[in-house]
Amino acid sequence: MPKALGHIRVLDLSRVLAGPWCSQNLADLGADVIKIERPGAGDDTRAWGPPYAKDAQGNDTLEAAYYLSANRGKRSLTVDIASSEGQALLRELVLHCDVVLENFKVGHLKRYGLDYASLKAIRPDLVYCSITGFGQDGPYAHRAGYDFLIQGMGGLMSVTGERDDLPGGGPQKAGVALTDLMTGMYATVAVLAALTHRDRTGEGQHIDMALLDTQVAMLANVGSNYLNSGKPPKRWGNAHANIVPYQTFACADGHLIVATGNDGQYQKFVEAGGRPDLAGDPRFATNPLRVHNRELLVPLLSEMVKLKKRDEWIALLEEKGVPCGPINDVGEVFANEQVQARAMAIDLPHPSAGQVKLVRNPIRMSATPATSGMAPPLLGQHTTEVLREMLGRSEEEIAALRERGIV
């Protein structure tokens, strides 16, 4: 199968999640990603367990599930970048790479001669992507940035969680590291755009990605609501600030999501529940009126929904074309017939675990599918291969580098 990025090689100096998420996307699209890791330790997330992948006997391997989630399709090369020999190796590798990806603190790589200016001097068409908490400039540039911190600073936690006037009210972080993941996604887009520009003009460039910038951007309609009203949005729990009803309801045996996007869907919803009077009530006839009269309407809808079981509601509403669905735990997600039909869970051969279970890349393209046959690598698994293939080092030279702790 042809690969969309089969002609691209990435030198990945990043670790943890935002950077590796970007490089995993590039690897799934066919890029040759060389993951640079510290000898003896590697990416921090290798130790972020349990859980760990298990071998054929059911025993834990050294491969943390967290690490496995973001490092599919890469080759691992261990290099001591604090050593002058290690730095020289990386500069030599850059000559064979199209992209450098890093998430060190601002200015940290300059002392090693691995910053953009230094590498641009030897590879002018290089695409160099830096991911930091706060960007390369500004008063916070030298601060460390972490997803949880940025979710709070960037406003996400101010609109996530139950309403302050209800039980359990208060700020909540998202259940997955959304800011890291979205920064990785934006970085992927930026790298692809920069490569397209390079291919047209021969010019490389520096990409400055910041978690805080990403979090502010991904406020989306919530940010726009504030900029156009001057009023900071508040938490709505599982409800929606601009649409009613668009929330969870307790059924007779569980919970249901109802997401009516227009007046017709609302009317079908209440008619299915045996309350056509709520469709004709002038207080609830349009979405703006329902938003205005939310406190009157929602208790009436809640009483209506409690009278039927979840699956009964789903069958009724799907028949009428009203968007609805269950709230699945992760086990139920992977047992779902649609998730299974789309083959979102995959098994890849692994050197120590035999097989590892991973989540498939959701990008589907007819000519150049985003797939990977390579499991996340063991620490330093490809050191000899990469040094021999890319730099022409002999077995004796590689052994000497190992002896000195350079790789």
Residues 20/28, Cβ–Cβ less than 8 Å: no
Residues 233/159, Cβ–Cβ less than 8 Å: yes
Using CA atoms, how far apart are residues 1 and 126, in angstroms rounded to an integer? 27
The DSSP letter of residue 44 is: G
Using CA atoms, how far apart are residues 325 and 340, in angstroms rounded to an integer? 17
H/E segment holding residue 188: helix 178-201
Query: Nearest CA to 183 among 240, 103, 279?
Result: 103
Hey, which residues does 77 pair with through a beta bridge? 36
Query: Nearest CA to 86 among 23, 35, 39?
Result: 39
Whether 277 is catalytic is no
Using CA atoms, how far apart are residues 154 and 145, in angstroms rounded to an integer? 11
Q: Which residues of 159-185 are buried (b: 16+ CB within 10 A; e: fewer)?
A: bbbbeeeeeeeeebbeeebbbbbbbbb
Q: Is the peptide bond before 245 cis (omega within 30 degrees of 0)?
A: yes
Query: Nearest CA to 103 among 229, 14, 196?
Result: 14
Q: Is the peptide bond before 171 cis (omega within 30 degrees of 0)?
A: no
Q: CA gyration radius for the chain?
A: 25
10 Å CB burial of residue 149 (0-12, 13-18, 19+) is: middle
Distances from the Cα of 172 to the Cαs of 14, 152, 197, 236, 326, in angstroms?
28, 9, 40, 12, 22
Which amino acid, one-letter code, is at 24? Answer: Q
Q: Which of 12, 115, 180, 213 is catalytic?
A: 180
Using CA atoms, how far apart are residues 262 and 101, in angstroms rounded to an integer? 44
Hey, which residues does 74 pair with through a beta bridge? 33
Just list the catalytic residues: 180
